Amino acid sequence: MKYYEGKTAVITGAASGMGLLTSKTLAAAGGNVVMCDFNEEGVKMAADEINALGKGRAYAVAADVRKFADAERAAALAIEKTGRIDLLVNFAGGNEARCCKSFVPFYEQPVEVIDWGLDVNLKGAVYFSRACMPYMVKAKSGVIVCMGSVTGFEGDGNGTMYGTAKSGLFNFVVGAAKAGAPHGVRVFCVAPGPVLTRETMGKMETALGRAIEPKEIVDFVLYLASDSCPSVTGSTHLVDAGRLCVGRGSTAGFLEAGK
């Protein structure tokens, strides 16, 4: 992890789960992290905890990824405090049915829930990428990572917008990578299967017979984003313990695991 010493990362969904673990890992390596989350109290507490360790510096930003102004504010803070943005990891997201407590089929979903699913899972990553990428282009260096999901391949009969948005990210990274390549900016997507950020995810069927530890995803993301993988761009990398091999089995999938 020495590669990340002195570098700056903007992380969304940073108050918990893989976003928090990534922030801690980078800071422990001597990197700076701009931690963005809608949970203002949670992200501030997380940043304070990291700063108390006295290694890399953490900056908390209360941000709604659905608002481009919040993305711009986070990027500007990174430049103001550290003078650079080397890495953006878009972790913020969630199944709209579970997060909005609306467990009904797509044809009965309220429009507000549909909008939430698309805005948080797709537009949020697009907004933060749009806000951070100009600084990377100017520096002729940078990496943007979008967090997809195996659901982007499988689909979900209830959390339909979650899968729709995640598959949209698969295409987004291709276009963004083409735009960034002449300027030394890489863009790619990592698509996890069931990750043990919630205990119930362990109930989902996979070929390996187990769910994925959050650290596996974080380590993989940081490996691909490092100078060990300078040719990785425009691609989506499935890390699902063989979930896609065995098939979804029902339209409930992630939704039932999240109840």
CATH number for the domain spanning 175: value is 3.40.50.720
Distances from the Cα of 120 to the Cα of 50, 168, 206, angstroms = 26, 12, 27
- Asked if residue 196 lies in contact with residue 187, where contact means CB atoms within 8 angstroms, the answer is no
The stretch 245-251 carries a mean pLDDT of 66
What is the enclosing helix (H) or strand (E) of 188?
strand 185-192
The pLDDT assigned to 143 comes to 99
- Asked if residue 85 lies in contact with residue 132, where contact means CB atoms within 8 angstroms, the answer is yes
Identify which of 92, 95, 120, 80 has the alpha carbon closest to the alpha carbon of residue 11: 92
End-to-end Cα separation, the chain, in angstroms? 36
The pLDDT assigned to 249 comes to 58
Structure token digits, residue 228: 């060990």
List pLDDT tens digits, range 99-108.
Answer: 888 888 889 9
For residue 202, is pLDDT > 80?
no
Instruction: Name residues whose C-beta falls within 8 Å of residue 71's C-beta, 6 or more positions apart in sequence.
Output: 63, 65, 127, 128, 130, 131, 132
Q: What pTM did the predictor assign?
A: 0.93
The stretch 165-184 carries a mean pLDDT of 98
d(CA 146, CA 197): 18
- Asked if residue 113 lies in contact with residue 181, where contact means CB atoms within 8 angstroms, the answer is no
Name the residues annotated as catalytic.
162
Count of domains in the chain?
A: 1
Beta strand pairing call for 8-12 and 236-239: unpaired
Domain span at residue 31 reads 2-258
Name the residue with higher pLDDT: 147 or 194: 147
